[in-house]
Amino acid sequence: MRISAIQWMLLTGLALAWLPGCGGSSGDKGASNVKEPKGEAESAKNEIKHYDATDLPPVDEPLQRPLDGGRLAICPPADWGFFSQANYLVVFAKGRVSELPRITVAAVDSPHGPAETTDENAAALSENILRKLKKDKKIVRENPKPVMLGGRVWVRHVRQVTQGGTPCAVQSLQTVCDGRLYTLEAFSAAKDDSQASMAAAVRDVRDLAYAVAANARFTKGGASSATPPATEEKKPEKAPAEEKPAEKPAEKPAEAKPEEKKSG
């Protein structure tokens, strides 16, 4: 039995339709399979990591002196000292305050708006912080990214600085509460400025700083200035300059009365 040319064409078309990789439907499936892993990676990248205070290193008791007008109560890492230093609310150090590692705590009126940092707006705060870092030409090792520490969202980034000729890693944690931007930064020395050395320097203090942030307690509005808390140390008020009493005009000496002549 002979097969006509038309029949050969029909058979050939059916065979090609069954070959792998041919046809519109198989092409669509391949495209969707490629996109799926990308979507999973993006969701994992945007996920906020959570750290509970009980899973982090121990801290000491809260400082007896509430900070920032009574808005902040904070604890140093266990067995670390605490010091007063200009431009900071407090400085924690393992040894001398001039040595590393150390942790600084500062607060300013938020330049990023008064909204409290949450998991919903943390991405926007991260972008604002990165924009400021780039504007100030900082050496950023890890871009700002939200992290949940003890129930509060902070934005974390790592940058490189140099102190006394030594490369140092700075892990910064920032959050907004009651219109104030709180910055908690851990400084640690690195062997050199390589990525591996910077990462190792951060690991030495990362969880200690996380523990301090996770145990921090914020009070909106702070303490009333009229009735400061009993535990707050007051700076001695400067005594007003003593006013000198007005000088009285010199009194003229009393004129001597002429002696009366006694009658003889």
Q: Answer whether 51's CB lies under 8 Å from 210's CB.
A: yes
CATH of the domain at 139: 3.40.1000.10
Residue 41 lies in a domain: no
Residue 29 resides in a domain: no
258 part of a folded domain: no
Cis peptide before 62 (omega within 30 of 0): no
For residue 116, being part of any structural domain is answered with: yes
Q: State which H helix or E strand residue 145 sits in.
A: strand 139-149
Query: Domain for residue 165, yes or no?
Result: yes
CB 36 within 8 A of CB 30: no
CB 159 within 8 A of CB 150: no
93 domain residue, yes or no = yes
Give residue 59's domain range. Answer: 49-218
Contact between residue 214 and residue 59 where contact means Cβ atoms under 8 Å apart: no
d(CA 53, CA 62): 14
How do the pLDDT tens digits run along the chain, 264 residues long?
Answer: 555 555 555 555 544 444 444 333 334 333 333 333 333 333 356 689 999 999 999 999 999 988 999 999 999 999 999 999 999 999 999 989 999 999 999 999 999 999 999 999 999 999 999 999 999 999 999 999 999 999 999 999 999 999 989 999 999 999 999 999 999 999 999 999 999 999 999 999 999 999 999 999 999 886 533 333 333 333 333 333 333 333 444 444 444 444 444 444
**What is the model's pLDDT at position 82?**
96
Residue 27 in domain: no
Report the domain count for the chain: 1
Q: Are 69 and 179 in contact (CB under 8 A)?
A: no
In a domain, 181, yes or no: yes
pTM, two decimals, is: 0.69
Nearest to 140 by CA among 162, 157, 125: 157
